[in-house]
Structure 1
Amino acid sequence: MASIGQIVEKTSSSEVLSRAQQRAMLVPDCMVEARRIANTVIAGWHGRRQRGIGENFWQFRPYAEGESLSRIDWRRSARDDHTYVRDREWEAAHTVWLWADMSPSMMYKSTMALVSKESRALVIMLALAEILARSGERIGCPGIMEPVSARNAAERLAAAIMHAPVTSGLPDTAMIRGQSDIVLIGDFLDNADTVMSRISPLGRRGLRGHVVEVADPAEETFPYTGRTEFTDPETGEKLVSGRAETIRDQYQRAYLARREALGDGLRRLGWSFVFHRTDHLASEALVAVHGYLSGMPAPRATSLAGGVL
């Protein structure tokens, strides 16, 4: 007879294998959806125009002491009493690290949602990879894929995710060097202070960050009534409420306060924060986070259903 320890170990191994198989079946469909969304969004996008060392003209600006005289545009400067430099558009390849939470809590899908949180997070990540790869950016995923600059970067990322080990929590970012962008997509249901304690060191290292919180509509609206049993997907712990509707207001206040605290902490760090509900179109979150990556942040949202805080 197997010992209790052996039974637990076998059950755990079986769950991990099942989880990996579920993800492997999910990713191809997410890749198809991601490419469809990317094709829709990219039609109205004209590139990441930023000041830098490229060849395309960006703008004129006043000359600053210490700059090379070769950068002065003498024809423009001759028009008035000021000296102007001709700035060019940024064209050098940039590294963007993309990560989607694939812990058990992300598998949740209520009857109010279109898809699971995990499916939506993967679609947003792969669609973003598709768009960025087309513009020549280097795409990487912490702990899963080293940065690559290739047109098929999204497909390579999808393949790497299918074979990645099952993990939980924020990714290991020790391999990230220099100034890069990092996009973190998950439900971030932990206490805001706990999340910020893990994210803050990344900001201090010079990483330019963007956080996308994915939520199921039931998590926000708490539509439950009567006797309801709640199960923590991470720990398996259960909570039974005799009349769930009596705790709705208290729950919603705590839930939204956590989100507000997280958004405030990220803004103080200089990071962007987008929240997105799975009963909305994935393109909404994609456009918002891509706007931040492009230096064109979306307007602050006033709706609780989804948007930018």
Structure 2
Amino acid sequence: MAGETLHTPATLRARSEGIAAGLPGLLMSAERLAATILLGEHGRKRAGPGDAFWQFRSAQPGDARRAIDWRQSARGDAHYVRETEWQAAQTLMLWVDDAASMSFAAAGRPSKLRRAQTLALALAVLAVKAGERTGLAALPEPPRGGRAQLIRMADALMEGGEVPDYGAPRPRVMPMGSRAVFLSDFLGPPEPVAEALTAAADRGVRGVLVQILDPEEEAFPYDGRTVFESMSGAVRFETLKAGRLREDYLDRLATRRAALRDLCARTGWRFHLHHTDASAEAALLSLYTVLERGR
């Protein structure tokens, strides 16, 4: 798997400028993808008492004045809104892995990162159209609704900068009782993923892990003399007999996937595998259906 050159200030600036130029395209692609899904009562078909008190949250722009709990707000300098169980269920949090490994793409296919960004933002579009709040779990800003939030999220997803070879979810905002979708190749250390899902489960958060891979990463079509290099260029390995590595590689990939499935089963999450040569529409519909059913 060929890698990229090492990052320098000049290449980082060029990358950032290119990413900024692609912002409108990402949002348009996400909205076009979301339009293929028949909008229903997304996330609202949940059993149980919907009017029971769930939590206080900080008031956000757009909240009605009547929604503010003045008694709770009087205890400090901030304004708070009293949420019910039904309202708490109307929040969708997203994490998109932007590590260097996600930039891998075989010829003629989108990168794993681009597919993850498009799917995540399409889910956000659907949530906003259903009157829900949405946000990026890795950022400190609280989830919000409205088109302005979609633009903020698209901008954040397209930000450039130095990144590690592999990403790890470290959510900063995960409202209790919300739903979440994490999109990554999940090829890095598994411990942070387990920690994030365990912490989410403790807060009543349920969601979906979406492992996104290029088909070439599944097939390992290499033989003979091959140079493997990480996408950041930091790691390089050369072998004369790449074919002999295939069985060990595929075994490790299968073991990692089994561990992810087991983790999801233990924390009440769902696991979804997506390849970049597959239909983005089908993947979005599958994710939408799982979230709608509240599983």
The 5-angstrom pairing of residues 50-129 of structure 1 reads 50-51=46-47, 52-53=49-50, 94-111=90-107, 114-129=109-124
Are positions 1:137 and 2:132 aligned together?
yes
Moved more, 163-172 or 211-220: 163-172
The 5-angstrom pairing of residues 222-301 of structure 1 reads 222-234=220-232, 236-295=234-293
Q: Does the residue aligned with 2:231 lie in a helix, a strand or coil?
A: coil
1:117–1:216 Cα contact (<8 Å) kept: yes
How far off its partner does 1:30 sit?
2.3
Q: CA RMSD in A?
A: 2.7
Moved more, 154-163 or 132-141: 154-163
Q: Does the residue aligned with 2:253 lie in a helix, a strand or coil?
A: helix
How far off its partner does 1:167 sit?
4.8
Which residues of structure 1 form unaligned runs of 5+?
1-9, 55-89, 298-309
1:266–1:273 Cα contact (<8 Å) kept: yes
Identity of aligned residues (%): 31
Runs of 4+ in 1 over 4 A off after TM superposition: 90-93, 163-168
Q: Does the residue aligned with 2:142 lie in a helix, a strand or coil?
A: strand
* Alignment match, 1:183: 181
2:169–2:193 Cα contact (<8 Å) kept: no
Q: Paired residues, what number?
A: 252
The 5-angstrom pairing of residues 182-201 of structure 1 reads 182-193=180-191, 195-201=193-199
Relative distance call for 1:39 and 1:177 in structure 2 (3 A) is closer
How far off its partner does 1:16 sit?
3.4
Structure 2 residue corresponding to 1:31, chosen from 27, 32, 41: 27
Moved more, 125-134 or 95-104: 95-104
Higher relative contact order (CA 8 A, sep 6+): 2
CA distance in 2: counterparts of 1:295 and 1:163, whole angstroms: 33
2:30–2:119 Cα contact (<8 Å) kept: yes
2:230 maps to a residue whose letter is D
Relative distance call for 1:27 and 1:273 in structure 2 (3 A) is farther
Q: Does the residue aligned with 1:178 lie in a helix, a strand or coil?
A: coil
1:97–1:147 Cα contact (<8 Å) kept: yes
How far off its partner does 1:144 sit?
6.5
CA distance in 2: counterparts of 1:110 and 1:163, whole angstroms: 23
CA distance in 2: counterparts of 1:92 and 1:209, whole angstroms: 14
Structure 1 residue corresponding to 2:214, chosen from 216, 226, 229: 216
Structure ID, larger Rg: 1
Q: Does the residue aligned with 1:147 lie in a helix, a strand or coil?
A: coil
Q: Does the residue aligned with 1:37 lie in a helix, a strand or coil?
A: helix
Relative distance call for 1:25 and 1:101 in structure 2 (3 A) is farther
How far off its partner does 1:24 sit?
2.2
How far off its partner does 1:194 sit?
5.1
1:19–1:166 Cα contact (<8 Å) kept: no
Q: Does the residue aligned with 2:257 lie in a helix, a strand or coil?
A: helix
2:238 maps to a residue whose letter is V
Relative distance call for 1:172 and 1:19 in structure 2 (3 A) is farther
CA distance in 2: counterparts of 1:127 and 1:278, whole angstroms: 16
Relative distance call for 1:174 and 1:192 in structure 2 (3 A) is closer
1:211–1:274 Cα contact (<8 Å) kept: yes
Relative distance call for 1:21 and 1:200 in structure 2 (3 A) is farther
CA distance in 2: counterparts of 1:120 and 1:131, whole angstroms: 17
Structure 2 residue corresponding to 1:20, chosen from 16, 19, 23: 16
Relative distance call for 1:131 and 1:198 in structure 2 (3 A) is closer
How far off its partner does 1:191 sit?
4.0
1:186–1:212 Cα contact (<8 Å) kept: yes
1:106–1:118 Cα contact (<8 Å) kept: yes
Q: Does the residue aligned with 1:41 lie in a helix, a strand or coil?
A: coil
Q: Does the residue aligned with 1:129 lie in a helix, a strand or coil?
A: helix
Which residues of structure 2 form unaligned runs of 5+?
1-5, 52-85
CA distance in 2: counterparts of 1:121 and 1:292, whole angstroms: 17
Question: Given the two structures, how large is their TM-score scaled by the length of structure 1?
Answer: 0.72
1:144–1:160 Cα contact (<8 Å) kept: no
How far off its partner does 1:234 sit?
4.4
